[in-house]
Structures are given as structure tokens and as C-alpha cells.
Amino acid sequence: MSETLLDVKGMTCPLPVLRANRALRALEGGARLRVLATDRAAVADFQAFCRETGHALVAMSEDSGVYSFVIRKKETT
């Protein structure tokens, strides 16, 4: 399955989550969105966002101050 990339590096809370939410709305259920962010608060923000919306946070990593989040959009019924 392909992955959509969203680069929100340099943006601060709450913009990374807001942009990710907008991007996810345009995707089909089950699609993956990779978000690249530099805001340290994004770690807690994306965990809470996925918990509250039902999307799955399938991977999270950090490399040289860039955080990568892979979110799988929940299936719609």
C-alpha cells in the first residue's frame, strides 16, 4: 500500500496535528499517512490524536530532531 507524505517540519503545536487531520480526511480508509515534524510536542499530540480519533499510530521514530509518524486511517463503515 502506498503512503502519503506530509512535511510539517518547522510548524509548532497545534499545526502538525491539524494539517495531518486535514490530509487524513482526503484519504481512503486503511490508507497510510507519514508525517514529518520537528516540534517535540508532536509526540504526545499524535499519540492523543490517534487515541481520540480511532486512527492507528503504526510507527513513530526520531532522527536528528525530525520526528516521523505513520498513521493508518481508520476504516469507515
Active site residue 50: no
Asked, for residue 64, whether it belongs to a domain, the answer is yes
Q: What would the pLDDT profile of 23-58 be if each residue is shown by its tens digit?
A: 999 999 999 999 999 999 999 999 999 999 999 999
The pLDDT of residue 77 is: 60
Residue-range definition of the domain harbouring residue 61: 3-72
Question: What's this model's pTM, rounded to 2 decimal places?
Answer: 0.94
| Catalytic entry in 13, 27, 56, 57 | 13
Asked, for residue 77, whether it belongs to a domain, the answer is no
Asked, for residue 54, whether it belongs to a domain, the answer is yes
Q: How many domains is the chain built from?
A: 1
Q: Specify the CATH number for the domain of residue 49.
A: 3.30.110.40
Asked, for residue 49, whether it belongs to a domain, the answer is yes
**Which uninterrupted H or E stretch holds 55?**
none
Sign of the Cα torsion 29, 32, 36, 39 reads positive
Kindly report the backbone phi and psi dihedral angles of residue 55, in degrees, each rounded to the nearest multiple of 5, phi listed first: -75, 155
